[in-house]
Amino acid sequence: MVPGVVLPENRPHQGPRSASTRVRDVASSGAVNVALSELSWIALVAYVAMSVFAALVQGTLGFGFAIISVPALALLDPRLAPVPQLVVQLPLTWYIYWRERGDLDRSGVLWTTIGGIPGTVIGVWLLSIASAAALDALNGVIVLAGVVVLLLGLRLTRTPTSELLAGTFSGISSTVSAMGGPPIALLYQGAKGPTVRATLSMIFFIAVVLSIIGRLFTDDGISRLDLELTALGLLPVALGLWASRFLTGRVEGRPMRIGILALSAASALGLLWRAAVA
């Protein structure tokens, strides 16, 4: 068994614990498992539909999968997010990168990846100390900040320093909430569609790998339900990616992006409200 993969029901955060304690927990983790069958059919239908739509958006714009799906699904049922969205982004981002690989910005990938390493470490630390309500609030703030920045169309000059900082913030938000897109998307506002899709997809792919590794060494780890939801989401994600082929080049963004950001903002406000009343 891989250290850190936890099969029991999700536990409240209890602060940092020793490695030996986590190993004992994993060794005794056959007791209670949350299975896919325990979720309501409404939750499962919403999960599948949201996976299709979010993959369609990411395949078209190069980002948006988690910022759309995580807040809405977390409001419907906290067990639906964010880990399944994190894991399913591995094949999602690799496919988009491969489709657009001729337009990759290699320098951007290098510096954001270097920045993503300390970002992942900080994200793991936050997961070890934060309560569920605090994580709801943090996720809501991350999404709202990204929405505001992207909606205003602010642009940053791409330099090694700005790419390093964007990678750090992306690593933090990717590990905590699977939503590492806004800091990187800000850097590539105004770039050509193929460059955005290829570069962001490779950056996200590497960030997701780092975030998954980091999560394996947190108390919550990756549960059986997370893996089952990931498996359930693979076909809907593939369907959304297939459909995106018909929009790539036609929808380069503003009308669709504004609608996406409005939906994301509403979901983020819902998370902040839930955190406030918890």
Q: Does residue 264 belong to any structural domain of this protein? A: yes
Q: Does residue 25 belong to any structural domain of this protein? A: no
Q: 153: number of CA atoms within 13 Å, CB side? A: 7
CA atoms of 110 and 4, how far apart (whole Å): 28
Quick check: 15 pLDDT over 90? Answer: no
When divided into structural domains, the chain yields a total of 1
Where residue 56 falls among pLDDT bands split at 50, 70, 90?
very high
Q: Does residue 177 belong to any structural domain of this protein? A: yes
Of the candidates 174, 228, 177, 178, the residue with the CA atom closest to the CA atom of residue 7: 228
Q: Is the dihedral of CA 245, 246, 252, 257 positive or negative?
A: negative
**pLDDT at 121 (0 to 100):** 93
Q: Does residue 150 belong to any structural domain of this protein? A: yes
Q: Does residue 222 belong to any structural domain of this protein? A: yes
Rounded to two decimals, the pTM is 0.75
Quick check: 236 pLDDT over 50? Answer: yes
Q: What is the pLDDT averaged over residues 127-141? A: 84
Tell me the longest C-alpha to C-alpha distance in the chain. 54
165 contacts: CB under 8 Å, gap ≥ 6: 115, 183
More reliable by pLDDT, 134 or 10: 134
Q: Does residue 83 belong to any structural domain of this protein? A: yes
Are the C-beta atoms of residues 132 and 182 closer than 8 Å to each other?
A: no
**pLDDT at 160 (0 to 100):** 94
Quick check: 166 pLDDT over 70? Answer: yes
**For residue 94, what are its two tokens?**
């690799």
Q: Does residue 130 belong to any structural domain of this protein? A: yes
Q: Which region among 86-95, 103-112, 131-140 has the lowest average model confidence (pLDDT)?
A: 131-140
**Which tens digit of pLDDT belongs to each residue from 192-232?**
888 988 999 999 999 889 889 988 888 778 899 999 999 99
Are the C-beta atoms of residues 108 and 158 closer than 8 Å to each other?
A: yes
**Which tens digit of pLDDT belongs to each residue from 98-116?**
999 999 999 999 999 999 9
Q: What is the pLDDT averaged over residues 160-185? A: 86
32 contacts: CB under 8 Å, gap ≥ 6: 8, 9
Range of 90's domain? 37-277
Q: Does residue 1 belong to any structural domain of this protein? A: no
